[in-house]
Amino acid sequence: MRLPRLIALAACAILPVTACTSPDGGVAGNIADPDVVKLGETVVAFYLSPDTSTEKKSTEERPAYLVLVQADGSKQLIETSGMTEPHIAWSEAGLFFSDHKRDYILGKDGLVSFENKKAGHQQSAFALPGNKGFVAVYNEGFSESGYTNQVAVTTSTGSQLYQVEGNYFMNALCGGVLNGVATEVGAHFADSAKIPGMRSKVDPGAQPELLSQLYPATEGEEKVLAWRGAFDAGDHNRHVPCHDGVVTFLSDYADADGKPHMTIVSWNTSNGEYTERPLLDVQGRPVAEELVDPETFSQKSYDARAVRGGHLEWLAADGRIMSTEIASGVTRPRFDTGFTSGSNSSSQAIFTDRSIHLVQETFDGETPVKIKQFDRATGDMVTEIAVPGLAKQRGIEFNLRGTAVPPTA
């Protein structure tokens, strides 16, 4: 049994970014005026989105908040109309975020926004190289063709939106090219029947994984690159690494015969070929025997910068930073962060060349959001920040989602 990552099913209220007072007056002083807000000395940013599992009147407005945190734990909140499972991206051009009506770039000189009406559930967000803007994927849901997503490209002059077939839960930016891995393949499902091994013997209706190029669009559409006979895949990390055109990710899935696998996958976007290695401990045993609890494997966390020196590093649910050698699948624990994920808390990891930043929320409506920064090479803790005052505003009605740190952090 896999434990799915706790995902907020947000009800997106129709509100522009505003300086209005929050319904919870305790944080009114932290709501930033969008006309004057700047990045300033922000060291970590994260998005709080409404949790619709908490009962609310259907007519009640449900804003969401981008939170800007400084080194001393002080904060500013930018109020938005919300986005389910929002994601944010940070480049030298600024901090990108969105809601279901607009896209925003917050820079040193202030906040700019562009109208861009779209689906209210986000899959990913990436900064394009060379400060050329941002690209993001949104989940449009079931359609006449089967399942569709939307891709938005936002620059300093505006936003463009187009539709792609399939549900691309997992995405990777390879240079300036955005590739997606879909487990709901939409209109492409019939095409997969022509390829051997792309039908499950246990469940013929199960869909294999599809690798597609989403941006730049090819004649206005996604470009199908390759298929993989992986079914019933576990929860995916939304942003995964790509180096030299090869996408790398951890995969928990069943094969065509229904046999379970826990592997590390390297998928070549140029020729569609992939290799995968079983995840093993240093003694050659499957990691699920002793090293990793298979019940909580889906709560792992890593991102697009998680590969270093031929290894994929990731945060396990028990709080340890793990290192998996891509060529062999051998996995070793590096150090314990003390930040766990489970029924009472959730932690996210942000990787940079020098650091590993962790953000933890506790689901009690009281405990401050906690942030730790570790030296990536040594594992030594560099800083620890508590963000007070959010618990009253958050209660148990908001979930901490997209996180980001400055690109040079």
- Report the C-alpha gap between 47 and 400 in whole angstroms: 6
pLDDT of residue 11: 27
Residue 210: partners with Cβ closer than 8 Å, 6 or more residues away? 166, 181, 182, 185, 188, 192, 224, 226, 227, 228
pLDDT tens for 266-285 read 999 999 999 999 999 999 99
Bridge partners, 295 (sequence order): none
Listed as ranges, residues in the chain with pLDDT below 70 are 1-29, 52-61, 391-396
Nearest to 229, CA basis, from 198, 270, 274, 190: 198
Q: Is residue 364 exposed (0-12), middle (13-18) or buried (19+ Cβ within 10 Å)? A: exposed
Q: Does residue 9 belong to any structural domain of this protein?
A: no
Q: Does residue 3 belong to any structural domain of this protein?
A: no
Residue 68 burial (CB count, 10 A): 24
- Report the C-alpha gap between 220 and 97 in whole angstroms: 24
Q: Does residue 337 belong to any structural domain of this protein?
A: yes
pLDDT tens for 71-105 read 999 999 999 998 989 999 999 999 999 999 999 99
Q: Is residue 259 exposed (0-12), middle (13-18) or buried (19+ Cβ within 10 Å)? A: exposed
pLDDT of residue 12: 29
Tokens representing 14 are 């129709």
Cβ-contact 359, 343 below 8 angstroms: no
Nearest to 240, CA basis, from 194, 175, 173: 173
The count of domains in the chain is 1
Q: Does residue 156 belong to any structural domain of this protein?
A: yes
Q: Are strands 307-308 and 274-278 parallel, antiparallel or unpaired?
A: unpaired
Q: Does residue 366 belong to any structural domain of this protein?
A: yes
Q: Does residue 11 belong to any structural domain of this protein?
A: no
Nearest to 370, CA basis, from 378, 358, 381, 380: 358
Enclosing domain of residue 358: 25-404
Nearest to 171, CA basis, from 128, 198, 222, 136: 136
Q: Give the distance, in angstroms, between the CA of residue 38 and the centroid of all CA atoms in the same chain.
A: 24
Q: Does residue 251 belong to any structural domain of this protein?
A: yes
Q: Does residue 14 belong to any structural domain of this protein?
A: no
- CATH assignment of the domain containing 309: 2.130.10.150
pLDDT of residue 263: 98
